[in-house]
Structure formats: C-alpha cells, structure tokens
Structure 1
Amino acid sequence: MKIDQDNNRLKSYLAGLFEGDGHIWMPNEYLKKKHNPRFCITFGLKNKELALKLLDIIGYGFIRYKPKNNACVLTISPVKGLKNIIHYINGELRTPKKHQLYKLIDWINKNHNENIIKLPIKKESLNQDGWLAGFLDADGSFSVQHTIGKKRKISCRLRLEQRMYDPITGDSYLDTLRIIAKFLDCNLKTRKQISTGNEYYIIAATSKVSLYIIINYFNNFPLYSSKYLDYLDWKKAAKLILNNQHYTEEGITEINIIRNKMNSKRIEFNWDHLCCLYKK
C-alpha cells in the first residue's frame, strides 16, 4: 500500500510540474521526415539533480543543457518514454495543458496501435495529492520579508504567478487559480506586464491561516526542487509568526539569519530528499 501511495504521489507531482514548466512539442505530420513528439520540462540549472532523478524514474530520454539560459530541459521522445509519461499524468492534470497531453495520446494511438483513453481534468481537492507541490515547484516562490520603518513588519509569503490564458488554445487558467487561491485562503489578483502586454494571475499567501494550511499540505506532499530547502527555512520563520515570537529579540535575529541564506543567497544544496521520490 505504501508503494502505491508513493506512486500516486509521483503521478500528481509530475503532472503539476509539467503544467507549471512543461510543454509537449508535436511534429508536423505532413513532413516527409518523421519525428516523435517531445515531452519537455524546463528546470533552472541548480535543479539538474531533480531533472536527473525524474529521467531515471521515467527510464527514457535525456537532459538538454542550456548554460546561456542557466537552464536544463528534461526531454522525453522515445515512444516507451512517452507511454510512461501518459501513464503518469493522464487523469492527473488540472489546467488547459490537458490539450497537449490529449494530442500526444492521439499520436500514440494513431501511430503505435494503442487505444489509450483520454481521462478528464482532475476535480478532487488539492489536499488529496501532490499536484500543487509540483505546480509550486515550477511557478511558486517562498520569501521572508523584514521591513524597518516607522513600524517594523515581518511576514512570510508564498507567491504564485501564472499566465491568464493558454497561449495555444486561449483557454483561461481562472478556474484553476481560483481553486488554488481558495485552498490557500487568499485573494486572486492580476497584473499586466508592460513590456509584453501579457497578463498574469498572482496569488500571495501571507496570513496565519494561509501559513497553517501551507505547512500542513507540505507535511503530506513535499516539494522536490531546491525550493524544498527554501521552504524548510521559510517554515522556521512561519512557525515564529504562528507562535507570535517573530518580534522578540531572538525571533528577529533568527528571521535575519533565515533571510540571508534563502533563494539566491543559498550556497549549500542537499538533495537527500530526492530519495523519497521513486516509482513503483
């Protein structure tokens, strides 16, 4: 039973990660030279260990390194690997990216004599699986704010930013982001990028209620990228806030220590937590 639970956790996590930072490239079927589709997830270069771990789990594909972009791309194109991807994420998706998976399933069914059924969007509560952990590993961030002015302010924030519309289908991400905002007990806001005109949904969870929800969720469904390390530090600060200790002298000192080793200031990385991510 434990192995089945871990396998299901992997499926939902991989689905969320794909819907945050992944895409599926489909070949032009009218060209003479035939190509396989490519399932891709982009990672920051510092997260190559996670990319390598997922490559090992999926069993087929390669990592493409893009040093100029400080990134690497998990790329799956062998048919056996693509079938494994379908096995993992079919029925686990929650956003308009389901259409990319459906096109891949159509291609596999047509070209490799399969009859894979396209499963619908998942509707279960977010606290039932690891989808949100994967989605936040892709598009979320953790920060601890400490401002000193007329009144000192210390806060912990989980921030998520996602485009408003799928660039391929034009379908809205509104329903998905509303569900996430409701789950985290915070507001859903929007912003427009002046340089590109692109519009984004923004979720910023900072209240004590939100902090409690976030900690409980990640106790059951952990992150696996380097954000897991930032989250552990963030959680220390969040617990100080939840216990009303963040404005004590000791609390302020601890907050400053935490802030100085998170995110871009992190210089030490430990990947022991990846041992918990494995296939059945």
Structure 2
Amino acid sequence: MNESLCVNNTYLDGEGLLLGPSLFSFIFFINKINSKGKPTLGTRVISTQSSLKIDPNYITGFTDGEGCFYIGLSPDKNYNSGYRVKLSFQIGLHEKDLGLLKLIISYFGVGKISKLASNSVLYRVTSIDELKVIIDHFDRYPLISYKYKDYLLFKQAFELVQKKEHFSVEGLRKIVAIKASINLKLSSNLKNAFPNIVPITIPKIEDRKILNYNWIAGFTDAEGCFFIAHKKSQASKLGETVWLKFILTQHSRDENLLKNFIEIFGCGRFVAKNTKEYGEFIVEKYSDIRDKIIPLFEKYPLYGIKKENYLDFKKVSELINNKSHLTLEGLEQIKQIKSGMNKYRK
C-alpha cells in the first residue's frame, strides 16, 4: 500500500499525485529507447544505464530549473535558405553531477553527454527523432515555471523543422521570429540579416500551480540550497549561534511560483533580491524545517550532489533538535559540517 505525505494539510499519495477536492491524474511516461536499445553517448563520456527510476515529475521539476530549449541558426551556403537550423534540448551541470545526468539520459533513452573543458558536463538532444521523445515528455508532464513559454515556442520551431519547412526562406523566417521571442533572442548578426522580423507573440499562460512533490524534489536539485547560517550573538552563552535555512531561488518573472511554495508548505516567506531581478523562497524557522521540509525530502529524494548537502543539513537538524548546538562541542561539530557543504564540498 502506498503511503501518503501530508504538508500543510495537503495529501499526496505514494506516486506523488495530489489528492483533495479535485483528483489530478497523470499518465506515466514510458521510457523510450533508440533502435539500439540504449542511449546514444558522446565520444568523450561513457554513460551507463542505472537501475534507479526517476519519477517523470522530478525530470520536469529539474528542467524547470536547469533545462534549456535552444534554437540555433548559423549561415550555411549548402542550404537554399542560406542558414542551418539546429534545435537542441540541453542541461549543463558541474562535473560533480555527472551521475545525475546519467540518470536523466537513462530516463529519456536518447541524447548524448559530453564533458566540457570548464569542469562541466552537458546533456544534449539534437536529432528530430530524439527530440520527439523530449516533446512527448513535456506534453505529458508540463513545465510550471516561465520556461513553459519557452517550451511552447520551441515546440513550434520543432514542428516546422519536423515538416521540413525550415528549408524554405518563408519557413526560416518563421523560425527566426520564434527565436526572437525565446531565451537570449536574436544576436546582432541575426538582427542585421533579418531586419524586418517581428517576434511572435509569446503565449499568454495563466499562473501554473505546483501539484506534485516529485516536481519539488527535481526543482530543488536544480535551484535549492540547504544552508547552515552562523553568526556572532550576544544572546548566546557561547557568543555564537547557528540556524538552518532552506532556500529556493528563481528569476523574478517566476515570483508567483515561489510564492506558491508558501501555500504548499504552509510556511516560509518570499524575498525579492537585487532590485527584484530574482527572488527567494526562504524557510528558517526550525520547527518548519524539522516538520515540513525534511519529511518531504525523506519521501521524495534528491539525486544530484545536492543530496549530500541535504544529508549534512539533516544531520545538523538532529544536533539542533538534541540541543547540541548549545554546547561548545556541538557548535564546533556543526561548524565543521558547514565547512564542507555547498561550494566548499570537494
């Protein structure tokens, strides 16, 4: 029997489906593999299949944070239109997270992983047949962040390429108009080459709500931070104090998404940062960390290197719960744990 998790009186069953006045059902994605029965690998990285099975909603949550839908255009005299169109879905991570990319390629069954020169690794899907697998996934398990709009634009370009319309000048101009509305938009060279292009209207999308805790786990692996705060304190007998902070960060255009976490968890606050260019959902009340944040990640696990930070975060939570942080020995133990977390983790 599947167990349920309750956060803020919201129940999700063992598959991560929201149960309440309305029942949201999901059709679970069946992994597709290529004709050889395994992922296609880049020449510089050896990827292996994993027995771990990641929930589809985790994949979507992680993509909401780290994924990129890219439309590339480069001059090429071999094409009648004068340009080569290259579509790609990609996720770039630090090499410490190579294991996570291997799980992702195993899930999709398509694409390549390459190791880059800057201590990073890149998962990329470029062929039209393989991109169809990506499109199928995100049609069934839609993105929630502002990136959903980028996906819809990317899908329009994909359909044009699938119909081979990009080989014509008219079709190319349609793709340029789409590119003008997605991600980094047009380069100065493309603006000069296509001076009269009008960006297509970005689809108007209503704010989308978080319906799945596996999505939260994936999004946290991408954009979350498990942080141990430490400062001098005259109120403490030791002259120092420590506390825990759980943080999710996102561009200001997703402010409503971050505020949705307050509703989901029944705790935390939203803070706008850097002249409102980005915002943070922050939880730092210890009882909320102990009773709401940690139980979620115990049931809906992380898969990246961030899991190691979570485990240290949980360890410190246990020390605080036992009042060990009020002793010199316990405080030093916590400071030692903190020194090996996040950017200091080797």
Aligned to 1:200: 278
Equivalent runs, 1:201-216 vs 2, <5 Å:
201-211=279-289, 212-216=291-295
Residue identity in the other structure for 1:139: E
The residue number in structure 2 matching 1:228 is 307
Distance in 2 (alpha carbons) for counterparts of 1:215 and 1:77 = 38
The 3-state SS of whatever aligns with 2:331 is helix
Deviation for aligned residue 1:240: 2.5
Question: Could you list the per-position Cα deviations for residues 120-176 of structure 1 after superposition, in whole angstroms to 9, with x for gaps in the alignment?
Answer: 975353xx33111221211221121233442321111112221113xxxxxxx1211
Q: Which secondary structure state, in structure 2, belongs to the residue aligned with residue 105 of structure 1?
A: helix
How far apart are the structure 1 equivalents of 2:332 and 2:324? 11
Task: Flag the 1:181–1:112 CA change in 2: closer, same or farther, 3 A.
Answer: same
Partner residue, 1:271? none
Q: Does 1:72 align with 2:114?
A: no
Q: 1:21 aligns with which of 47, 66, 77?
A: 66
1:75 and 1:146, CA in 2 relative to 1: closer, same or farther beyond 3 A?
same
- 1:274 equivalent in structure 2: none
* Offset, 1:98: 0.8
Residue 67 of structure 1 aligns to a residue whose secondary structure is coil
Instruction: State the TM-score, normalized to the length of structure 1.
Output: 0.76
**Where has structure 1 moved over 6 Å in runs of 4 or more?**
118-121
Q: Which has the higher contact order (CA 8 A, sep 6+)?
A: 1
Instruction: For 1:85 and 1:78, locate their aligned partners in 2 and report how far apart those are by CA, in whole Å.
Output: 11
Structure 1 residues 139, 81: CA separation in 2 closer, same or farther (over 3 Å shift)?
A: same
2:22 is aligned to none
Q: How many Å apart are 1:20 and its aligned residue?
A: 0.9
Look at both structures and tell me which one has the larger radius of gyration over its CA atoms: 2
Number of corresponding residues? 248
**CA-atom RMSD in angstroms:** 3.1
Confirm or deny: 8 A CA contact 2:210 2:260 kept in the other structure: no
* Matched residue SS, 1:222: coil
* AA of the residue aligned to 1:179: N
Instruction: Tell me what 2:229 maps to.
Output: 145
2:250 equivalent to 1:162 = yes
Q: CA deviation at 1:63?
A: 2.4
Match of residue 102, structure 1, among 143, 147, 152: 152
* Equivalent residue for 1:181, pick from 256, 262, 270: 262
What TM-score, normalized to structure 2? 0.63
Asked if the contact 2:95/2:120 (under 8 Å) is kept, the reply is yes
Q: 1:19 to 1:216 in 2, by over 3 A?
A: same
Q: 1:51 aligns with which of 96, 101, 114?
A: 101
Gaps of 5+ in 2: 3-13, 17-27, 30-53, 75-79, 164-202
CA contact (8 A) 1:60 1:78 kept: no
Kept after mapping to 2: 8 A contact 1:98/1:121: no
Structure (1 or 2) with the greater helix fraction: 1
For 2:85, the aligned partner's letter is H
Inter-partner Cα distance in structure 2 for 1:5 and 1:82: 26
Distance 1:137 1:124, change over 3 A: closer
Counterpart amino acid of residue 258 in structure 2: L
